[in-house]
């Protein structure tokens, strides 16, 4: 887990390194960062599961480097490792391919490059001369390619410059967007129930608060039971109220309908995913019938407690709306199950623990399987008949 003063991994630019076994991926990462981040060995298959390391890369800022297993490991264990590497494809904002400059069989690399280009993910090629014993290179660098020597450091600065150049267009949007401007009073209604971490706020609440402060907004935070007294004390109504989706109905009932209302999850849906697709997906709840399969997906794992939103509340609300028992299944992690096409609907969490690239990849996978997808906040707004009421 990150320290409280660190930028969360989900908000960092993800730079992933790919290549064959012993092509020099780990050595290149160590050369770029100037640290022994990745384990380097002459033994093939040293890197197993992807290794993540949060860093600051100037002038880009917070990034995370990802070291992956070799693309050419075809053993039984190797196939499992490549499965983990495949998951990184859906997360990478920039893909860096490390290729031994003496290697002429580039089929595995080309297959992965094609996948990245289909996702419009920038691809950088670094031809590593570390094994050529000083022989003159036979490869040519270009706009997206550079010749390096991971052992001597030759060409590493050029590679870093190429990464920075490809990162110039990377900037996460504002979470709140144009719903609030400088000087606006924004009221955050945050239930501190049993699911809230003791002694701290959940990540979306922290991120929204920081985004509002960066905008120059005046932020007031209260528990659900303190909302009504706070509204009475305010001389003027707040410009915006943001709350937890689980108390949408209560907040809406006690809030003047002229005051814009949204939820942390609705904001995360727009910030991390495709809000229009999520709204479209939420409307398909009206078509659910008893026996339909629904997948409730969370991007992180946690111990489910009584009243858990994903395992108790949402299934109950969906069953009630459908007029009978649905087949509701839960999954946690950065991927989806292989049988995705069997589901009528996917209801995803806010995705605060994954990056935007990963969430958009999930949306695209659902779309390719013909499965509707929405997120917790948007679904709850629909179930409460508030989809036209809330702002996003």
Count of domains observed in the chain: 3
Residue 239 pLDDT: 97
Average pLDDT over residues 242-265: 94
Quick one: 59 exposed, middle or buried, by C-beta within 10 A (0-12, 13-18, 19+)?
Answer: exposed
Is 271 among the domain residues?
A: no
CA distances from 21 to 18, 111, 152, 272, 274 (A): 9, 16, 20, 33, 36
* 299 and 256 in a common domain: no
pLDDT digits (tens, 9 = 90+) for 110-120: 999 999 999 99
153 occurs within a structural domain: yes
> Which candidate, 216, 212, 204, 207, places its Cα nearest to that of 187?
212
**CATH number of the domain encompassing residue 258:** 3.40.50.11420
Domain boundary (131, 166, 201) is at 166
Judge whether residue 170 has pLDDT over 80.
no
Question: Last residue of some domain: 137, 166, 195?
Answer: 166
Residue that terminates a domain, selected from 126, 144, 166:
166
57 belongs to a structural domain: yes
Asked whether residue 172 is domain-assigned, the answer is: no
Domain presence at residue 211: yes
Longest CA span, the chain: 78
Q: What is the pLDDT of residue 209?
A: 96
Binning pLDDT at 50, 70 and 90, where does residue 41 land? very low
Question: What is the reported pLDDT for 11?
Answer: 80
- What is the Rg, in whole angstroms, of the alpha carbon atoms belonging to the chain? 24
| Angular region, 350: left φ>0, alpha ψ -120 to 50, beta rest | alpha
H-type helices in 254-373, by residue range? 264-272, 275-283, 314-322, 356-368
Q: Are residues 142 and 53 in the same domain?
A: yes
pLDDT at 108 exceeding the cut of 80: yes
Same-domain status, 195 and 106: no
Give domain status of residue 368, yes or no: yes
Higher pLDDT, 132 or 389: 389
Which residue did the predictor score with more confidence, 229 or 7? 229
Residue 300 lies in a domain: yes
d(CA 98, CA 187): 49
Nearest to 93 by CA among 369, 366, 359, 376: 359
Residue the block writes with tokens 């996003």: 392
pLDDT at 96: 97
Pair 30, 46: CB distance under 8 Å: no
For residue 295, what are the domain limits? 281-383
């Amino acid at each position: 887990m990150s320290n409280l003063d660190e930028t969360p991994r989900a908000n960092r630019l993800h730079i992933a390194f790919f290549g064959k076994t012993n092509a020099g991926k780990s050595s290149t990462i160590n050369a770029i960062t100037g640290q022994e981040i990745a384990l380097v060995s002459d033994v093939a298959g040293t890197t197993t599961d992807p290794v993540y390391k949060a860093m600051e890369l100037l002038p880009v800022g917070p990034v995370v480097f990802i070291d992956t297993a070799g693309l050419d490991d075809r053993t039984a264990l190797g196939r499992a490792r490549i499965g983990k590497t495949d998951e990184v494809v859906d997360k990478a904002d920039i893909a860096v391919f490390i290729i031994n400059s003496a290697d002429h069989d580039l089929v595995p690399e080309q297959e992965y490059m094609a996948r990245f280009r289909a996702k419009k993910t920038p691809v950088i090629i670094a031809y590593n001369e570390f094994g050529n014993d000083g022989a003159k290179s036979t490869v040519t660098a270009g706009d997206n390619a550079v010749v390096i020597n991971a052992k001597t450091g030759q060409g590493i600065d050029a590679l870093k410059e190429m990464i920075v150049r490809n990162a110039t267009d990377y900037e996460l949007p504002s979470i709140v967007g144009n719903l609030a401007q400088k000087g606006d009073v924004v009221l955050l209604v945050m239930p501190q129930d049993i699911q809230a971490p003791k002694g701290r706020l959940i990540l979306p609440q922290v991120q929204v608060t920081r985004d509002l402060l960066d905008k120059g907004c005046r932020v007031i935070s209260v528990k659900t039971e303190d909302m009504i007294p706070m509204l009475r004390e305010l001389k003027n109504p707040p410009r915006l109220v943001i709350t937890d989706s689980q108390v949408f109905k209560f907040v809406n009932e006690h809030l003047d309908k002229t005051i814009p209302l949204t939820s942390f999850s609705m904001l995360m849906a727009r910030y991390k995913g495709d809000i229009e697709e999520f709204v479209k997906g939420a409307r398909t709840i009206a078509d659910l019938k008893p026996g339909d399969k629904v997948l409730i997906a969370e991007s992180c794992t946690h111990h489910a407690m009584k009243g858990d939103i994903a395992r108790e509340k949402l299934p109950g609300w969906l069953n009630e709306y459908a007029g009978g028992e649905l087949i509701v299944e839960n999954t946690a992690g950065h991927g989806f199950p292989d049988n995705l096409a069997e589901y009528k609907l996917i209801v995803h969490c806010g995705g605060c623990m994954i990056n935007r690239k990963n969430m958009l990849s999930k949306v695209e996978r659902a779309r390719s399987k013909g499965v509707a997808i929405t997120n917790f906040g948007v679904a709850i707004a629909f179930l409460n008949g508030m989809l036209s009421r809330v702002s996003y």
